[in-house]
């Protein structure tokens, strides 16, 4: 049976996500004249140590601060109810970008849709950075879709920070984490700048959109594909059907040195200038013949 919160105004239905923090429910919100579907994140309040409480407060505060941008999932309100906090957010009725890329194969070969969706993400991250927020976990599972996959919004601020430099290594997800955030390139490294890592993650998402796969498993000294790319960036054109234009964008993103990485305004300009993200038919035929 549905569970009621907020004095009966919000009706929780099935679970649509689970994490260390608790669960995300699909809900009907009757607070306004028109009932609306929402995603409601349920956070435990009891049994948390000081560090966990700090992270919980940080997640809510940073998401609320960024909530007004069209490329960020809107946080409608916070409900405090005994043992739990409920974060009421807009619902992405078409699921996440991961499913849109892998199950529905929505973007491969559609240059203008790739450009539009990617620029929405660039603008969302640029807005976060303008507020002094680094997301630190940008990946397709943390991006919700609507309007047949043409509209995307960033969610899940669980790892977000307002720190410019951080010593919290390993924040993020294996495929999408920038090398400086791993801490395994330089034994002397004590911290990393937080915002360039979001640009790196966007680069991996661009490969996902264009090719439907990842360029490597992890940007670590132990990863053969990543090391092959560092030795010769053209390696990516040997394993992925990407255009010269797209490769150039990726080489501006995938720099080991964060300070050399493309800024978001530069990245936006580069993406608008890409003629095609994928190889031409002729290039694909040549690539197959060479293989």
Q: Pick the catalytic residue: 137, 156, 184, 223?
A: 137
Pairing verdict, β 22-29 and 36-44: antiparallel
- Confidence check: pLDDT of 1 > 60: no
Q: Is 112 helix (H, G, I), strand (E, B) or coil?
A: helix
What's the whole-number mean pLDDT along residues 70-82? 95
Separation CA 276–CA 249 (nearest Å): 12
Under the banding of pLDDT at 50, 70 and 90, the label for residue 192 is very high
- Provide the pLDDT for residue 178: 98
Q: Is 174 exposed, middle or buried (0-12, 13-18, 19+ CB in 10 A)?
A: middle
Under the banding of pLDDT at 50, 70 and 90, the label for residue 17 is confident
- Confidence check: pLDDT of 267 > 70: yes
Mean of the per-residue pLDDT values of the chain? 94
Do residues 189 and 165 make contact, with C-beta atoms less than 8 angstroms apart? no
Start-to-end Cα distance in the chain = 57
The lowest-confidence range among 4-18, 123-137, 149-163 is 4-18
- Confidence check: pLDDT of 108 > 70: yes
Percent of the chain at pLDDT above 90? 82
- Confidence check: pLDDT of 39 > 90: yes
Annotated catalytic, 245? no
- Confidence check: pLDDT of 207 > 60: yes
Percent of the chain at pLDDT above 70? 97
Per-residue pLDDT tens for 112-140?
A: 999 999 999 999 999 999 999 999 999 99
Separation CA 101–CA 82 (nearest Å): 39
What's the whole-number mean pLDDT along residues 34-38? 95
- Confidence check: pLDDT of 66 > 70: yes
For domain 97-290, give the CATH superfamily.
Transferase(Phosphotransferase) domain 1 (1.10.510.10)
Give 151-180 as a DSSP string.
EEEE---TT-B--SEE--TT-S-TTT--HH
35: Cβ contacts below 8 Å, ≥ 6 apart: 28, 29
Q: Which CATH architecture has domain 3-90?
A: 2-Layer Sandwich (3.30)
In angstroms, how far apart are the furthest CA atoms of the chain?
67
Under the banding of pLDDT at 50, 70 and 90, the label for residue 291 is low
Q: Output DSSP code: residue 99.
A: H
Bind-site residues for ATP: 41
The lowest-confidence range among 12-21, 157-166, 169-178 is 12-21
Residue 279 tokens, joined: 């190889």
Region(s) of the chain under CATH 3.30.200.20: 3-90
134: Cβ contacts below 8 Å, ≥ 6 apart: 128, 160, 161, 162, 163, 194, 195, 197, 198
Region(s) of the chain under CATH 1.10.510.10: 97-290
- Confidence check: pLDDT of 2 > 80: no
């Amino acid at each position: 049976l549905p569970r009621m919160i907020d004095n009966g105004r919000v009706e929780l239905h099935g679970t649509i996500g689970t994490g260390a923090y608790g669960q995300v429910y699909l809900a009907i919100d009757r607070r306004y004249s028109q009932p609306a579907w929402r995603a409601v994140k349920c956070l435990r309040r009891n049994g948390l140590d000081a560090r966990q409480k700090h992270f919980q407060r940080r997640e809510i505060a940073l998401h609320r601060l960024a909530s007004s941008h069209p490329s960020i999932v809107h946080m409608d309100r916070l409900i405090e109810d005994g043992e739990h906090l409920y974060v009421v957010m807009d619902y992405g009725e078409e699921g996440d970008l991961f499913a849109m890329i892998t199950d529905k194969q929505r973007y491969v070969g559609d240059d203008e849709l790739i450009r539009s969706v990617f620029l929405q993400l660039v603008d969302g991250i640029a807005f976060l950075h303008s507020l002094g927020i680094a997301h630190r976990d940008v990946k397709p599972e943390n991006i919700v879709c609507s309007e047949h996959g043409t509209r995307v919004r960033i969610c899940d601020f669980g790892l977000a920070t307002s720190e410019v430099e951080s010593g919290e290594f390993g924040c993020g997800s294996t495929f999408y984490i920038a090398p400086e955030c791993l801490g395994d390139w330089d034994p002397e490294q004590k911290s990393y700048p937080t915002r360039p890592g979001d640009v790196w993650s966007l680069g991996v998402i661009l490969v996902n959109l264009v090719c439907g796969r990842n360029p490597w498993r992890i940007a670590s000294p132990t990863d053969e594909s990543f090391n092959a790319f560092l030795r010769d960036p053209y390696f990516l054109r040997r394993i992925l059907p990407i255009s010269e234009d797209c490769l150039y964008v990726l080489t501006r993103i995938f720099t080991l040195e964060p300070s050399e990485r493309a800024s978001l305004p530069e990245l936006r300009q580069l993406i608008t200038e890409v003629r095609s993200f994928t190889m031409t038919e002729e290039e694909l035929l040549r690539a197959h013949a060479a293989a």
